[in-house]
Chains A and B, each alone.
Chain A
Amino acid sequence: MFVNTSLVYSDFNYGFDIKFAENASFGLDQAINDIYIKSDWTNYLNPNSKLNFGGQVTYHRFNPGLFSANNEDSRAIFQDIQLEKKKALENGLYVDHEYTHSKRLNMRYGLRVSSFSNIGGSEFVYTKDPQTNEPISALTVKDSFSNGDFYNTYIGLEPRASISYNLASTLALKGSYNRTFQYIQQASNTASAFPTDQWFSVNKNIKPQKADQVALGIFKNFDIGLETSMEIYYKWMDQQIDYRDNAQIAFNENLDGELLLGKGWAYGAEFYVAKTEGKSSGFISYTWAKTMRQIEGISGGDPYVANFDRRHNLSLVFTQKFSKRLLATASFVYSSGQPFTTPISKYYYGEKWNAEYDQVRNNYRIPAYHRADIGVTLKSKEKPDKRFKSNWNFSIYNLYNRDNPYAIYFRTVETEDLEKNPDAIVGNTAAFQTTLFRMIPAITWNFEF
C-alpha cells in the first residue's frame, strides 16, 4: 500500500490598471485563494491488479474583484466597488481499478464523485427567479445566507475508463472515455484577446460544466530510440458561459447577469515523435484542435469559435550533448492566434467614429504566436565528495525578436499616441498591439546543495 498526502495553499492574484486619461485611472484586483488537502492511496491486490483511491477537499475563497480609482481625480468621483467575496467547498472522491489481463490487454476504470458547495456569508443576487426560473432584471431578488451555511450544492458523477491493447511488443492501441464536471469557468469579453479574463464559480445562477471526452490513440516505438504516437479526441461540453452582447463588465456588482449559457464541443488530433536516446535527442509535437461554442443569444445563435481555440500548435525541442558537462538546447513553438472580435466597418455617429460589428463572435484571430529559444548549459565538474553542484546557463529567449502580440484592440488615435506612432492622425481609427517580451538574452547560475 502506497499513500501520498499533501496539503497545498495557493493564492492566485491578478489585476490590472487602466489609465483612461490623464486624470482618470482605474484598477481591478481579483484573487482566488485555495487551501486543499489531497490523499492518494494505492493498494496492490495482486501482481495484475491494483486499486487506486483517494480524495481531495478544497476550500475556495474568491475575490471577484475590487474596482478602485487609482488617482486623486478619479477617487473624487468614484468610490471603490468591492464585489461580494465568495466562499465554496469542493470535494472529490475516487476509486479506480487497474487491471492487467494479459501481456496484450490492460485496462483501468473507475468513478469519481465530485461536489461543489457555495457557502453563505455574502449577499447572493439571483439572475433568474428562484420560483419560476424566468430571467429577472438585475439586483431585484437577493438572498442572504448566514456564514457557514452550505446553501447550494452540486454533485457530479464522473465515470472513466481506458483500455490499452498491444498489437505487437512495440505497437499499442489505447482508447479512453471520461466525464468531468468543472465548477469554475472563465469568461472573456473577446474584444482584445487579453489573457486576464474573469473567473466565475458555479452558484444558484450558473450550473457546473459537464464534459464527456472520448479519445483513441496509436503508439509505436522504433528500435532506433524513436517513440511515436497519434491520438484523436472528441469532447462534448454543456453549461458553457460567455458574456452577452453589450454586457456591462466594469463596476458591475451583478456580473452573473451578464452571462449566457450554452453548449460547446471540441475535437482534434495530436502527433508526437520523440528521440529519447543518444547524444542528440528531442521531440516534435503537433496538435490540431478545434473548439466551438453555441449559445442562444450570442453570434445569432450559430456556432462560433471559442475564445481559447488554438487551431495549430507546434513544438520542437532539440538537445545536443557535447560532453558530460556541456549541452546545448534549441526550441521552437508555434501557436495559432487567439480568436477575438474585430470591427467590420466604422461609422460616424454622435460626433465620434463607432465600430460596426458582425453578428459573428470571434470572427478573426490575432497574429500567431511563435518564437525560438536557444541555450547552452555548462555544468560544474562532478566529484563524488563534492556536496555542491552548480551550472551556468547562457540563453536567448525569442531569438529572432518576434513581435508577438499580447493584446490587440481597436480604438481612436489620441494625441498621446503620437509619441510612439508619429505618423498616426488623431481622431482616426487604428488597431493597437501591445507586446511584452521581445528578445531576452540571459545568464543564469544554478546552484544545488
Chain B
Amino acid sequence: MKKFNLILGFAIVLSACERIVELEIPSSDPTIVVEGQITSQLEPWEIRLTMSQPYFDQSTLAFVASADVSIVGTDGTDVNLIHTDSGYYKTEFSQQCLPGETYTLSVKYDGEEYLATEQAPLAFPIDTIASYYLPENNGFIEEGYYVFIQGRERVEKGDYYLFKAYRNDTLKDDFGSNLDNDEFGSVSFLNEDFDINNIASELSKGKTPRPFPFTVEPGDTVRIEQYAISEKHFKYIFDIEAQQGRSGTPFDPPPANPNNNISNGGLGYFSVVHKEEAQIVVDE
C-alpha cells in the first residue's frame, strides 16, 4: 500500500519571530566592579569603581564614590587614588610601573576589602612601523593599504600582547581586541620574520606581513599602542569578548564569568601593563 499526503493549505506563513520577553530570572546582590589599568608611561593612574545591577534594570550606571583606594608596589610605590567624578579615582601625581615589579590595588568599600595583584610585564619596544598596499584579496583580507609593525620577542615563552590601533585618532576594534602571544609565531603582529626594510622584495616573494585588520588611505595617521600584558589579563580579554559576542546561537561559549584578579568576589580587572607607541602617516 502506498500513502500519499497532500497538505492543501497553511493559513500562516512559517517564520521565526523574535521579540523581547520579560523573565523573572534570579538576581544577585550588587557587586563592586573594578576597571583599572596602570602603565609604564608616566601619567596619573586612574581606576573606575561601579556596581553591578539586576540584568533587566534599566536605570543608569551606579558608581562608587566613597571607597578608599590605594596602590602599593614592590618598587616602593604607595599612593592613594582620590575620587574625582562618576566613580573615577586618580592619583595626585604622575606615576609609572616598572618592569618585573608587582603592584597591588586595594579597594575598601562598605566594610569589605578587594585586592588585585599583578606583575608589570617586561618591556618590548616597537622597532618599526610601516604600511604597504595589498593589490588583491588574499583570502583573509581585502585589497587596500594596511599598516603593520615589527618588534622583537624574547626567546623565552610566556609573552602576551594587546594592540590598540587608531586611524586618525579613532580606535579600530570592529573585530575585537588585537591579541597576540608568542605561540602565534610567524603570524604574530610583531612580524619578526618579515624584512620590513625591503617590503617590495618581500611582497614579490609572496611574503606578506600580518597587518592590523582594517584598510587605510594615503594621508591617514595611524597610531599603534602596544601593551605587554599578563597571561591572566590576556585570557580575561579573550573570554570577556567571547561572552560579549553572545548572539544567542550554539556558537556562543557556555555562560561563565571570565577569570579575573579581583579578590572577594569583585568583578572587572586591574591590569598592569607595559605600553609602547608608534605612529605613521600612510603614503602612496
Contacts and interface: CB of A to CB of B under 8 A. Distances in A.
B45 to A, nearest CB: 18
A357 B256 contact: yes
B61 interface: yes
Interface stretch (B112-120, B147-155, B219-227, B246-254): B246-254
A434 B28 contact: no
B142 interface: yes
Contacts of A76: 137, 140-142
A341 interface: yes
A257 B224 CA distance: 34
Nearest to A366: B23
Nearest to B4: A447
Interface residues of B, number: 69
Contacts of B18: 420, 432-434
Contacts, number: 238
A443 B50 CA distance: 59
Interface stretch (A84-92, A313-321, A369-377, A409-417): A409-417
B250 A16 contact: yes
Given A354-B240, A428-B58, A347 B254 contact: no
A322 interface: no
Interface string A226-261: 000000000000000011111111100000000000
B90 to A, nearest CB: 19
16 contacts: A28-B250, A76-B142, A77-B141, A79-B140, A191-B248, A192-B252, A342-B23, A348-B35, A364-B23, A364-B25, A409-B246, A420-B19, A435-B16, A436-B14, A443-B7, A444-B8
Given A190-B255, A432-B19, A442-B7, 14 more contacts: A77-B141, A77-B175, A190-B254, A342-B25, A348-B33, A350-B35, A411-B247, A421-B19, A438-B17, A440-B12, A441-B12, A444-B6, A445-B8, A447-B3
Majority SS at the chain B contact face? loop
B111 interface: no
Chain A, interface size category, equals 35 or more
A149 B244 CA distance: 43
A436 B137 CA distance: 39
Contacts of B54: 345-346
Nearest to A352: B244
A431 interface: yes
